[in-house]
A = this chain, B = another copy of it.
Amino acid sequence: MLTPQHLQVNGRNYPWMKKPVVVVCVDGCEQEYINQAIQAGVTPFLKKMAAQGSVLTGDCVVPSFTNPNNLSIVTGVPPAVHGICGNYFLDREANQEVMMNDAKYLRAGTIFAAFSEAGAKVAVITAKDKLRSLLGHKMRGICFSAEKADQATLEDNGVDNLLELVGMPLPSVYSAELSEFVFAAGVKLLASQRPDIMYLSTTDYIQHKFAPGTPGANAFYAMMDHYLTQLDALGAVIGLTADHGMNAKTDSAGKPNVIYLQDVLDARVGVGKTRVILPITDPYVVHHGALGSYATVYLSEGVALPDVARKISALSGVEVVLTRAEAAARFELPEDRIGDLVVVSERLTVIGTSTTRHDLSELHLPLRSHGGISEQRVPLMFNRKLAPIPSDHRLRNFDVFYLAMQAAA
């Protein structure tokens, strides 16, 4: 099959790669994790990337959550185009919170679908299963999650016998091993099947637990470094980025700084007048108690928006309150899937709904989370020198495939 020299996906022109491209999305990878791991001397490959490759910083999508950013990375466009702006939005007619992890909510095709359609061999490996159906939408090739690696079949996932291939037992969904399985499978597949494009997307279980430079974090990055070394040795062009950063959300004794926004609005605006949606909410909340630094608020008819916005802005720990139109413009979000107001809290503060709806009993370590503008800066690292980037280009994490493919062309 003749392959084209370039391929247009969502208005961007991707060069066809001559070497395998591996893009790694390290979930919750605040840049400081890498910096401190290098300092601790446990990640020689990441250190080498700075000297021999390219180290840049990019902005992720706000809300700085996993799904909107993974979808931006694999489509190359912001949520205004691909439609996924969180895990939940409010279906106003049904007055019901709707999960957005079904491919029917996706408004743009992925780089994987386009390239596999054009003949490229593609492999996509995610840690959690929640992302698999979105990432694998309409693509041919290999696509599975570490979480359900034992259930992968040739028919559904393009690969089977994964536990045997990888040589690891099925990891727990709450573990560092879930991410390690992603890397280990990536190395085995690159060696055995040599896909043209591979995407490895981890989970931030470790980053929610451990601060940069602490033993638990350094061990994770040392593990990652080990597998990156192998991917590099196999000749891959590697691009590494993150879906979002990660920050402590506590005071000096480790108590979380939480604005229970629904409680505040019920008391100050009236019960039933507003509905606070936390798009971080997902079925896996143990490690962050569904608390992030971003919320969207729907107002009942007749409620004065400027008044509510003012009341929220006055709360200590709130960074910015935007109207739907302002938020859609500033963060490139789909207007029909965000509320009347978007609220972003400061670096050390998270937003909850009501005290009774957050179970913090499973939070055995001081809360670390994300969602805000404070988690927008993420690493963009490559094991190749890149061509100079125009100084007026605002680098985004969703430039990673474009840049890696250019380096592999």
Contact = CB atoms under 8 A, between A and B. Distances in A.
Contacts of A39: 254, 365-366
Nearest to A217: B213
Given A35-B248, A212-B211, A254-B39, A347 B347 contact: yes
A257 interface: yes
A252 interface: yes
Which of A35, A348, A365, A366 has the largest count of B CB atoms less than 10 A from its CB? Answer: A35
A18 interface: no
A211 B248 contact: no
A255 interface: yes
Contacts of A94: none
Interface in A24-38: 29, 31-36, 38
A286 interface: no
Interface stretch (A69-77, A222-230, A374-382): A374-382
A267 interface: no
A218 to B, nearest CB: 9
A31 B212 contact: no
B55 A255 contact: yes
Given A55-B255, A251-B57, A374-B347, A36 B379 contact: no
Interface SS of chain A: helix, strand, loop or mixed? mixed
Given A36-B214, A374-B347, A379 B57 contact: no
Interface string A233-273: 00000000000000010111111010000000000000000
Interface residues of A, number: 39
A33 B211 CA distance: 11
A106 interface: no
Contacts of A49: 253
Contacts of A386: none
Contacts of A316: 394
A81 interface: no
Contacts of A47: 253
A385 B154 CA distance: 63
B34 A381 contact: no
Interface in A254-305: 254-255, 257
Contact of A31 (B36, B214, B348): B348
Nearest to A56: B251
A311 B207 CA distance: 37
Interface string A39-71: 110000011011000011100000000000000
14 contacts: A29-B252, A31-B248, A31-B250, A32-B250, A35-B248, A35-B254, A35-B366, A36-B214, A38-B253, A46-B252, A50-B255, A57-B251, A214-B214, A348-B377
Please list the 3 inter-chain residue pairs (A to B) with the smallest Cβ-Cβ separation, ordered nearest first.
A50-B253, A252-B379, A31-B252
Given A31-B348, A36-B211, A214-B214, 10 more contacts: A34-B252, A35-B250, A39-B254, A50-B254, A57-B251, A57-B252, A211-B211, A211-B213, A251-B379, A347-B347
